[in-house]
Copies of this chain bind each other. A is one copy, B any other.
Amino acid sequence: MPTVRDVAERAGVSVATVSFVLNGTKPVTPATRQRVESAVAELGYRRNELARALASRRTRIVALAHPTGEHRFGSSTPDFVTSAGRAARSRGYHLVLWPVDTDGGELRELLGQGLVDGVVLMEVRMEDPRIGVLRTAGTPFALIGRTADPAGLVHVDIDFDRSVAIALDHLQKLGHRDIALVTARSPLPDYGPKVRTRAAYERLCAERGLTPQLYDCDPTAPAGRALVPELVERATAVVLMNEYATFGVLTGLAHAGYVVPRDLSVVAFMSPDMGALADPPLTVLHSPGPDLGRLGVEALIDQLEGTAPTEPALLPYVFEEGRSTARVRA
Assess whether A325 is interfacial by the CB under 8 Å rule: no
Interchain residue pairs with CB less than 8 A apart (26): A46-B109, A46-B114, A48-B113, A49-B113, A50-B50, A50-B53, A50-B54, A50-B59, A50-B115, A54-B54, A73-B78, A78-B78, A82-B97, A84-B97, A89-B98, A94-B97, A94-B115, A95-B96, A220-B276, A244-B273, A244-B277, A247-B277, A247-B278, A251-B279, A254-B279, A277-B277
Q: Which residues of B contact A96 (CB under 8 A)?
A: 61, 94-97
Q: Are B221 and A277 in contact (CB under 8 A)?
A: yes
Q: Are A95 and B97 in contact (CB under 8 A)?
A: yes
Q: How far is the CB of A123 from chain B (nearest CB, A)?
A: 12
Q: Which residues of B contact A51 (CB under 8 A)?
A: 54
Contact with B along A83-103 (1 / 0, CB 8 A): 011101100001111110000
Assess whether A112 is interfacial by the CB under 8 Å rule: yes
- Closest residue of chain B to A82 (Cβ to Cβ) is B99
Q: Which residues of B contact A78 (CB under 8 A)?
A: 73, 77-78, 81
Q: How far is the CB of A91 from chain B (nearest CB, A)?
A: 13
Q: Are A276 and B47 in contact (CB under 8 A)?
A: no
Contact with B along A138-152 (1 / 0, CB 8 A): 000000000000000
- Closest residue of chain B to A138 (Cβ to Cβ) is B1
Assess whether A68 is interfacial by the CB under 8 Å rule: yes
Assess whether A323 is interfacial by the CB under 8 Å rule: no
Q: Which residues of B contact A281 (CB under 8 A)?
A: 221
Assess whether A66 is interfacial by the CB under 8 Å rule: yes
Known: A68-B86, A82-B99. A114 touches B54 (CB 8 A): no
Q: Which residues of B contact A77 (CB under 8 A)?
A: 78
Q: How far is the CB of A73 from chain B (nearest CB, A)?
A: 6
10 cross-chain pairs, A with B, having the tightest CB-CB distances, nearest first: A46-B112, A85-B97, A251-B279, A247-B277, A49-B113, A77-B78, A48-B114, A86-B99, A94-B96, A78-B78
Docked Cα-Cα span, A279 to B59, in Å, equals 51
Q: Which residues of B contact A279 (CB under 8 A)?
A: 247, 251, 254-255
Partner of A115, one of B49, B81, B84: B49
Docked Cα-Cα span, A68 to B95, in Å, equals 14
- Closest residue of chain B to A254 (Cβ to Cβ) is B279
Q: Which residues of B contact A255 (CB under 8 A)?
A: 279
Q: Are B85 and A99 in contact (CB under 8 A)?
A: yes
Partner of A97, one of B53, B73, B81, B113: B81
Docked Cα-Cα span, A254 to B283, in Å, equals 21
Q: Are A50 and B251 in contact (CB under 8 A)?
A: no
Docked Cα-Cα span, A284 to B88, in Å, equals 37
Docked Cα-Cα span, A254 to B254, in Å, equals 11
Docked Cα-Cα span, A54 to B59, in Å, equals 12
Q: Are A221 and B50 in contact (CB under 8 A)?
A: no
- Closest residue of chain B to A94 (Cβ to Cβ) is B96
Q: Which residues of B contact A53 (CB under 8 A)?
A: 50
Q: Which residues of B contact A59 (CB under 8 A)?
A: 50
Q: How far is the CB of A98 from chain B (nearest CB, A)?
A: 7
